Amino acid sequence: MNSWPAAGPNPSLAAGLAPAPDCNRKLIRYQGVDMSNVTLGGNAIEVAGKFPQAGDKAPAFSLVGKDLKDVSLADFAGKRKVLNIVPSLDTPVCQASARKFNEAASGLANTVVLTISADLPFAMGRFCTAEGLANVVPLSTMRGAEFKGNYGVDIKTGPLAGVTARAVVVLDENDTVKYSQLVPEIKNEPDYDAALAALK
């Protein structure tokens, strides 16, 4: 089973960062692009895009399902949605979050859990089948790379550059954000209790 690689900061990029006028606690701006800082093993990495906040309308997306068909946000219209965004289901923490949300989903009415990563759809499908994760819909960014920037989870620096940061976004039936967390340390699991509380 894979383990997380060591990460190092990117001094050349960090030197050019300037605060955005409307920044939140970790939101910064670099060359006109919204950026957030998270860590990997305590080392800072930069994540591009504006991360959705409570009250925002969720951006539309098109991702790839395990059968290689395109899947859009509109396909889940009228349902509450938990977007469990992870770097890769080939790592223990990502696997743990998929299992946890799968378990929780069995008791949630009118709710679908979408686990989203940069993994190939085949790999995601194999994992979910092997683990019996019947309540999770695996979706890949394989043909939906714009999702990463639109949802503020596009890792730009460090050894995980190119994949998605760890995050949870909870949407209501009308695709309004009810809760969101960009997990500050990628090696840590998300705050399950807070995410699930938004669905009560």
CA-based nearest residue to 35, from 161, 145, 139, 143: 161
By the 8 A CB rule, do 36 and 27 touch? Answer: yes
Q: Which of 94, 105, 155, 182 is catalytic?
A: 94
CB 179 within 8 A of CB 29: no
Cα–Cα dist 147/155, whole Å: 12
Q: Which residue has the tokens 């938004």?
A: 198
Residue type, 113: V
For residues 110 and 173, the answer to whether their CB atoms sit within 8 Å is yes
The residues with which 182 forms a beta bridge, in sequence order, are 167
Active site residue 94: yes
Contact 2, 91 (CB under 8 A): yes
DSSP H helices in the chain: 11-14, 92-105, 121-131, 146-150, 192-197
Residues designated as active site: 94
